[in-house]
Structure 1
Amino acid sequence: MWGKILGALFGLALLKLPGLLIGVLIGHWFDRAFKQQFEKNGGFTGLFNDNLDEQALFRYTTFATMGHVAKATGVVTSAHISQATQFMNQLGLTAAQQKEAQAAFRDGKAVSFPLQPQLNSFYQAYRRRRDVLQLFVEIQINTACVNGQMTAEQYALLQQVAGHLNFSSVQLDALILAFQAQSRFAGRNQPANSTRHSLADAYKVLDVAESASDAVLKKAYRKLMAQHHPDKLMAQGVPADMLEVAKRRTQDIQAAYELIKQQRNRSKL
């Protein structure tokens, strides 16, 4: 229908009445061709299937790459297995989804796992959704830092992963530093007697200098919250059950921002 309408309007504007008739005819051909292609792709059901396929791709690539990162040192430790299991539990996966995730993790551990083709497929699906790609990289960084440290082999593999997803080494290093600061700030992977909320780490979580103005601080906070907002990521194709990572990240960002504001308000008294 829209092809006929637009064709008629353009034809009328260019050639008056003869153009109107020609435009309607061309628009009819366009509408018919579009309808055939749309039905060939499954109509509206096809649109939903594409979304489901993307979500399945996200899950599989996430857990398979986690397995590959865990095996980068040559052996998957009990800590990596425990972390992967804990991660699945945090996501609230169904029994069937947990089996799929475990199978993907095992696939990724294989030396012959085709990492590059898998990441290429993932990138093609999400290349216009930078925030989704960043969430994926952050999950892999979490896997590499399971014991609070990252081996040289895991770092080299993360560089490969980041490169396939169009992240530079500088950008990867910034994400690693932010993740490490976030872990310290939230008290994860730290001794029981360490400071739970470190002001220095709070600034690193927000990726701003301690000398940053209030305006710069607020801008950085809003940008990070927007990047990791669960509703936004779900709209961009991240499965709902994978959003726990983003929720934890936004909680840490919020807590870091509040701590800095409190400290600044005290200094003004």
Structure 2
Amino acid sequence: RWEKKSGHLTPGPLIGEGMFGQVRRAKLRTPEGELAVAAKTVRVEDSQSYRDFYREAAILVAVHEQNSNVRASNIVRLLGLITKSREKYILLEYAPKGDLLGFLRSVKNRDGEVLHGNLLRYAVHISRALQELERLKIVHRDVAARNVLIIANNVAKLADFGLARDVYASTQYVKTNNHGVEEFLPLKWMALESIETGEYTCESDVWSFGVLLWEIATLGNDPCFDDKVHVTFLQMVGILRQGIRMKRPPGCPEDLYRLMRACWRDVPATRPTPDGLEERLLQLMGALFPDEAIDM
């Protein structure tokens, strides 16, 4: 069902690239006609890159095969896989508006630092994606604005279930050595228990969601702890162990910041659930933007 013929794919321009992975806009020939897709592939042919590639493919297949209403999902839609040719691809729905981080920064450049209710709707969409993953017992491990795509009908979808730390490289990831294995980790989005023990759960995804809310409230600023934009592994543990959290962004409503802080509680079981996040966000939007017509 998922395997497509490599001859049916016409790769186009590069739309995202990191040290190990890349994404191209492409055209896929189908019985219904030509379809615009995002084609993800590995760039460096090593075991770690292929492990991430197959992990992402397996998770997306599992999500789609257990989800009865894929079109209504807030997880990026899988359209096919090409694994039997030398060039291997994961084929995903194309997001013409790009990722949420770039979108937030374009809003800031256009409108200045004004938080619109329509931006919080994207947070609601991602809380729904986390609900889907919780039901499927899948942990994302890298919930962040750079890994959220805005598709054509202005819906936000959670993407990047494996190649995320490779396709979007650079400053957001810190190199660590874990039992002799070098990894690139999104430290400033990670829960304390994930940094300390390597444990990832639905609750650690909720912590990362709190950082995503902070990104939305700042219209795409880079997370900053204790006035430091760049932190090492040990610095991050020390900062969080002292109870230090990111400050309330200028102009951020107190109730929204309170929700972020709830996501960053030390004890995982005391953080909001994905269902609770959606409920609280909808209440907040009604209170903060009563006159804004927000299409959910």
Same fold flag (TM > 0.5): no
Task: Determine which structure has the larger strand proportion and give its number.
Answer: 2
- Of Structure 1 and Structure 2, which has the larger fraction of its residues in helix? 1
- Structure showing greater radius of gyration is 1
TM-score scaled by structure 1? 0.27
